[in-house]
Amino acid sequence: MKYLICDVCKKTIESPVKDRTLFHHAHVDICLECQDSLDMYTRRHLRKTEAEHRPFDFQWYNDFFMDTLEKAVQRGKVDLR
């Protein structure tokens, strides 16, 4: 049986399955709950700032996503209000 630890919340992920219970972004492994929270946070932010980013800029989104992920790892949670 394999175990991994979420880099954000530090919970143990038992029997990780890629893209189901374990998500890997750049150099960070996160659990399903943290991935869901990260998706909800980025979605909320994009809806607020949608008019500012037309046409959609993938470089801006990638920078925003990675910055958010790095802050979540530092704080130990995704809720970055």
Dist. CA 42–CA 71, nearest whole Å? 13
pLDDT band at 80 (very low <50, low <70, confident <90, very high): low
Least confident range of 40-44, 57-61, 77-81: 77-81
Q: Does a structural domain hold residue 80?
A: no
Q: What is the pLDDT of residues 39-52, one digit of tens each?
A: 999 999 888 887 77
pLDDT band at 81 (very low <50, low <70, confident <90, very high): low
Dist. CA 73–CA 30, nearest whole Å? 9
Give the DSSP per-residue string, 44-76: HHHHHTGGGG-S--HHHHHHHHHHHHHHHHHHT
Count of domains forming the chain: 1
Cis bond leading into 55, ω under 30°? yes
The domain of 16 spans 3-75
**Cα radius of gyration rounded to whole Å, the chain:** 14
Q: Does a structural domain hold residue 51?
A: yes
What pLDDT, on a 0 to 100 scale, did the predictor assign at position 36? 94
Q: Count CB-CB contacts under 10 A for residue 70.
A: 13
Q: Does a structural domain hold residue 25?
A: yes
